[in-house]
Structure 1
Amino acid sequence: FVKNVALIEELDIGFLSGFNVLTGETGAGKSIVIDAVNLVLGERGSRELIKHGADKARVEAIFDIGGQPGLLSFLEEQGLPCEDGELLLSRELSAAGKNVCRANGALVTLTVLKSITDQLVDVHGQHEHQSLLSKSHHMNYLDAFGGEPVAKARRDVANSARRCKALREEMLDGFGSEDERLREMDVLRYQIAEIERASLKEGEEESLLAERVLVHNAERIMEALAQSGEALSGEDASLSLLGGAMRHMQDIAAFSEDYAALTKRLEDAYYAIEDIGFSLRDLRNGFEYDPRRIDEIENRLEIYRTLKRKYGVDYAAIMNYLENSGDRLTSLEGTAARHEQLEQDLAKATKEYGICAARLTQAREAAAAKLEKGMRQELVDLGFAHADFSVHFQRIEDIAPLGAERAEFLLSANAGEPLKPLEKVASGGEMSRIMLAMKAMFAQGDGIPTLIFDEIDTGISGRVAAVVGEKMVRISDSHQVLCVTHLPQIAALADAHYLVEKREEAGATKTFVRLLTKEQRYTQVAAMMSGANLSSAALEHAKELIDNCEAAKAARRKN
């Protein structure tokens, strides 16, 4: 959604998956549409973009990010959860120069907005700065291109580097000054002795707490047991009375089933109460009460409380602390021997790292050779008859998780020119096609779902234009592609064709964008072929071109 950007008063446009093409006459406003997209992507915004007479310009964009777990995690970290897989980004630019950026309705900084959109869209314009230009990304692109051989070697290097780092850290962390070592050993010996002297037992504290409750309530317990036993078994007590009732019923039980049943219930009750009485007697006779025991219990529990305050919340934690302290003391007591062992281990790990790093270097060099060959062919196809592409490696002496080198892509676009970094390639037209060549190679690796090519066809025509278009279509098999073009060969390949027009309404010039039907596409492509004088031959040629392109795309995508 675009509002008050240059000649656009209000525009609501939805791009489709696949290959989207924007065409229109020179000056119609194709660049304005791209400027609006760049605005919501966090690129630099000028107040000159605001429509004349308006206070502010506003652009909104909705992205489907359900298939981007990395971006979803980043949004979660920023406090911007995206539960339904849709992300709404917006940006307002006021005449006073104020920026207001939002993500799913929440205010964000321009930096955060840019961090989000860098993972969503690459805009390939005349001099846009893209992820492929930055040499800091080149290693990851090369490794992704190298596939599983490079990935496995890289994992081995990372594991080996972590091992070396851990050994170095242990050497630095485990061996301080001699005075510090002696002080720490004294503390550890005291703590170990204190814990061992206590002779703690698993479950003892819980048993003591339960026993303390019994001892504190001993007299009450004895009285209750005695009174309960007397109530059941004494003279004229429950059991005696129940026994009398039982005997009376036994005399008449044979006269009726009801009497017999009731007699059975009385017998069951009698024997149950009799058994309870025996149990009460046993409990009363077995209950031992020593008033001095309470002091023993409290003293023992105090030992547990003291050790828990110092060394852990429970028996298991204290024992774990004791074990770790013992290990640490042993380590400190054998410092010299351990230090020598660590040095040997580190030397061995460093040697292993060198072997793993050499394997990774070899895998990368193989991937680089394949990439160089593929890029040279891609560039030839795109009109660079004498282009050269090279992957330059710079050695890294330090042990690093990414290996022993860093990669940078170098290019010579024309015969006689030396190889140079990509960002040094000056021509925007060349840069767009170079980026397209690289995208054709890396299409499955960079994870950025949407690519925008702004007049990538500058300076090309004929066969090269057709090849450029076909390469963009192939990229659109796995990415959403938006392309601004003036070439009918490329427009004919579109999955969705949008026409950018400039019209006057109420004395004001405005830019509009509309999605063309198939019949309208025939007319538009014919106009792109023949200019203002639209002929039936051009229309027939356009129809044939579009139909052939659609048939070829359908056949290829089916396979």
Structure 2
Amino acid sequence: MLESLRIKDFAIIKEMALEFNQGMTVLTGETGAGKSIIIDAVGLLAGGRGSTEFVRYGKKKCVLEGQFTYSPTAALTRLFKQYEIEEADQTLLIQREIFASGRNVCRVNGSIVTIAALKEMGSHLIDIHGQNEHQELMVTDNHIHLLDQYGSEELALKKAAYQKVYREYRELVKERKNWQFNEQELAQRLDILEYQVEEIKEAQLQPNEEEELLEEEKLLANYQSIVEALSASYKALQGEEISGGLDLVGEAMEQMESIEDMDGKFKDVSEHLSSTFFQLQEIASAIYNELDQLEYDEERLNEIEERLNLIQQLKRKYGHSVEAILTHYEQAEAELNQLSNREEQVDYLSKRIKDRKEEALLLAEELTELRRQTAHQLQRSILDQLKELYMEKVTFSVVFNQASELNENGQDKVEFFVATNPGEPLKPLARVASGGELSRMMLAMKTIFSQSQGITSIIFDEVDTGVSGRVAQAIADKIHSVAVHSQVLCITHLPQVAAMADQHLYIMKKIENDRTRTLVEIITGRERTEEVARMLSGEELTQLTIETAEELLKIAEQKKERRKA
């Protein structure tokens, strides 16, 4: 349920903070005071479409904040996990900022989410019904889901079993389609794969080959520079024509050895010098060996360059490295083998598809039978509700048609049909003409579905338009009956509806510094009686209208007490 709502710089609302109770809350007040604006704010918190026009004139942004409590469901848990929302004691804090620039920022429990994500979560929290917006009840495609929600656990389990088999069937169909080429496509694909496999196979590539070839090429290409550097290094260490470095170090070593016994410091120097001399000897020997083994092979250099050119050509076609080329080779070879045995694979998949479709059809037929049983129960329940709304002559029917092919819901197309007057044919619910009849139809269904939908807050925005008298009282009773299972917020102009409320909010306009702003106050006692009286007779209050309002409120309280009992 919606526990609290904070609004700042939204349309004509400068700043407002509201707290809501469980049960039925009505919002009343003069036309244009901002009642629907408050509902718009709640709708935006549920992911409704925002607009820069919502930002109060002269402000950079508007801020909306709502705190909701909810009962954990599998759907909500999945969404929280999907959008990485932290769960906090079955409470959701939803915040939305709409900037004058058009930017929107949405947060749920502090985590930034997209408007699409907010809308998905909001659909499990709030159900808004306007005078001309009956949402899912008026969308034909939703009727089958509403029927299933009304159904038993057996129906839910059967539907889950069917959907599992149906998804397996669709995956198999998709897989077979990937195998089905026409003859020309198949021949072309086989030619391509055969060429690729043969080309890569003939190259006989080895892992890390390119790196090794590049290293060898570098040595051969720089042969002359390497020889000169090694020769000069060796000559500097152990040259024969002039005294090399080793001779000079050796002489120094001998001189230090002659005095090392005279002082400990001399001995340390002598030992270090001796170690250096032998290390230099090893280095000179290593350089000599490198010179001795070094050999320039121009033919080998040409071979390496040709090999590297081949690898580059293959990389341009099949991957950025030798390893990627070899991976492509394995994949192409595997696909070639599969396509060569294509008919066997297609036959195998066709058999599995046939088995899964037969299983899905059997489950779909069982699902249809359960739905038809549920439909009979739903029809009786709806008609019972309509009688209480003085629509006892209305006929309601759940009409079944067979879908052209199996789908996620089975083989059924379900649509709600009504006939509002005796002798008239049944017509689709979505095309019922009278606004008053449509309001009552919606209320009857909402009463039936409110428990099964699991939505915590239901908003009725002037759905009682076009009715009066005993029908108005029946609608008031029905809205309150919905509030037994879900929190209800209701904008109304009917005193009968206002009298049934558990909480009454009065919306008013006030002009401050030449600017209009909306104010809200909770009214009780005498104030509430006077507001109901105004709804009965207009601005002029008389003793009679006050007494009528008191009587209306008294009767409403008695009804609510009886309902509690």
TM-score, structure 1 length as denominator?
A: 0.68
Cα distance change, pair 17–89 in 1 and its aligned pair in 2 (3 A): farther
Tell me, in whole angstroms, the C-alpha distance in 2 between the residues paired with 1:272 and 1:32: 94
Equivalent residue, structure 1, for 2:234: 229
Q: Does 1:406 align with 2:408?
A: no
Q: Does 1:431 align with 2:438?
A: yes
For residue 265 of structure 1, what is the amino acid of its counterpart? H
Equivalent residue, structure 1, for 2:312: 305
Contact 2:144 2:414 in 1 (8 A): yes
Equivalent residue, structure 2, for 1:133: 138
After superposition, where does 1:51-70 map in structure 2 within 5 Å?
Answer: none
Q: Does 1:526 align with 2:529?
A: yes
Equivalent residue, structure 1, for 2:110: none
- TM-superposed CA distance for 1:200, in Å, is 1.4
Equivalent residue, structure 2, for 1:88: 98
- TM-superposed CA distance for 1:208, in Å, is 1.1
Equivalent residue, structure 2, for 1:176: 182
- TM-superposed CA distance for 1:160, in Å, is 2.8
After superposition, where does 1:270-349 map in structure 2 within 5 Å?
Answer: 270-349=277-356
Tell me, in whole angstroms, the C-alpha distance in 2 between the residues paired with 1:188 and 1:155: 38
My pick for the range that moved more, 485-494 or 344-353, is 485-494
Tell me, in whole angstroms, the C-alpha distance in 1 between the residues paired with 2:99 and 2:119: 9
Identity %: 25
Equivalent residue, structure 2, for 1:49: none
- TM-superposed CA distance for 1:296, in Å, is 0.4
- TM-superposed CA distance for 1:263, in Å, is 3.8
For residue 170 of structure 2, what is the amino acid of its counterpart? R
My pick for the range that moved more, 208-217 or 421-430, is 421-430
After superposition, where does 1:129-528 map in structure 2 within 5 Å?
Answer: 129-143=134-148, 149=157, 152-153=160-161, 155-170=163-178, 174-177=180-183, 179=184, 181-234=186-239, 236-358=243-365, 360-361=367-368, 364=371, 375=382, 390-411=397-418, 420-440=427-447, 441-442=449-450, 445=453, 451-456=459-464, 458-459=467-468, 460=471, 465-472=476-483, 474-476=485-487, 481-487=489-495, 490=498, 493=501, 495=503, 497-500=505-508, 513-517=518-522, 520-528=523-531
Q: For each residue in 1:402-449, what CA deviation from the matched residue of structure 2 results, as whole angstroms up to 9, or x when unmatched? A: 432222233466888765432244443343343244445257749797
Cα distance change, pair 538–405 in 1 and its aligned pair in 2 (3 A): closer
Gapped regions of structure 1 (runs ≥ 5): 43-55, 75-83, 91-100, 106-112
- TM-superposed CA distance for 1:196, in Å, is 1.5
Q: For each residue in 1:244-285, what CA deviation from the matched residue of structure 2 results, as whole angstroms up to 9, or x when unmatched? A: 434444444455444444444334433443443343334333
Tell me, in whole angstroms, the C-alpha distance in 2 between the residues paired with 1:391 and 1:143: 12
Q: For each residue in 1:177-223, what CA deviation from the matched residue of structure 2 results, as whole angstroms up to 9, or x when unmatched? A: 3x554454444333332222111112112211221111101221222
Cα distance change, pair 189–514 in 1 and its aligned pair in 2 (3 A): closer
Q: For each residue in 1:309-333, what CA deviation from the matched residue of structure 2 results, as whole angstroms up to 9, or x when unmatched? A: 2333332333343334334444444
Contact 2:237 2:244 in 1 (8 A): yes
Tell me, in whole angstroms, the C-alpha distance in 1 between the residues paired with 2:524 and 2:298: 103
Contact 2:210 2:308 in 1 (8 A): yes
Cα distance change, pair 142–533 in 1 and its aligned pair in 2 (3 A): same
Tell me, in whole angstroms, the C-alpha distance in 2 between the residues paired with 1:277 and 1:447: 88
- TM-superposed CA distance for 1:166, in Å, is 0.9
Contact 1:160 1:353 in 2 (8 A): no
Q: For each residue in 1:521-552, what CA deviation from the matched residue of structure 2 results, as whole angstroms up to 9, or x when unmatched? A: 32332124556246999999999999999999
Cα distance change, pair 379–463 in 1 and its aligned pair in 2 (3 A): closer
Cα distance change, pair 226–201 in 1 and its aligned pair in 2 (3 A): same
Contact 1:527 1:534 in 2 (8 A): no
- TM-superposed CA distance for 1:29, in Å, is 0.9
- TM-superposed CA distance for 1:505, in Å, is 11
For residue 98 of structure 2, what is the amino acid of its counterpart? L
Cα distance change, pair 350–466 in 1 and its aligned pair in 2 (3 A): closer
Tell me, in whole angstroms, the C-alpha distance in 2 between the residues paired with 1:36 and 1:65: 12
Tell me, in whole angstroms, the C-alpha distance in 2 between the residues paired with 1:125 and 1:199: 73
Cα distance change, pair 259–224 in 1 and its aligned pair in 2 (3 A): same
Tell me, in whole angstroms, the C-alpha distance in 1 between the residues paired with 2:277 and 2:174: 75
Tell me, in whole angstroms, the C-alpha distance in 1 between the residues paired with 2:433 and 2:472: 21
For residue 195 of structure 1, what is the amino acid of its counterpart? I
Equivalent position SS for 1:132: helix
RMSD of aligned C-alpha atoms?
A: 5.4
Equivalent position SS for 1:22: strand
Cα distance change, pair 124–286 in 1 and its aligned pair in 2 (3 A): same
Q: For each residue in 1:370-405, what CA deviation from the matched residue of structure 2 results, as whole angstroms up to 9, or x when unmatched? A: 755665565566666677654433211323344322
Tell me, in whole angstroms, the C-alpha distance in 2 between the residues paired with 1:88 and 1:404: 44
Contact 2:235 2:244 in 1 (8 A): yes
My pick for the range that moved more, 539-548 or 268-277, is 539-548
Q: Does 1:29 align with 2:37?
A: no
- TM-superposed CA distance for 1:165, in Å, is 3.1
- TM-superposed CA distance for 1:293, in Å, is 0.7
Number of aligned residues? 495
Contact 2:499 2:552 in 1 (8 A): no
Equivalent residue, structure 1, for 2:72: none
Contact 2:475 2:497 in 1 (8 A): no
Tell me, in whole angstroms, the C-alpha distance in 2 between the residues paired with 1:257 and 1:372: 113
Tell me, in whole angstroms, the C-alpha distance in 2 between the residues paired with 1:504 and 1:189: 83
For residue 416 of structure 2, what is the amino acid of its counterpart? F
Gapped regions of structure 2 (runs ≥ 5): 1-6, 45-56, 69-75, 84-93, 106-114, 535-540
Contact 1:162 1:401 in 2 (8 A): no
For residue 175 of structure 1, what is the amino acid of its counterpart? F
Contact 1:144 1:445 in 2 (8 A): yes
Tell me, in whole angstroms, the C-alpha distance in 2 between the residues paired with 1:255 and 1:145: 109
For residue 272 of structure 2, what is the amino acid of its counterpart? R
For residue 451 of structure 1, what is the amino acid of its counterpart? I
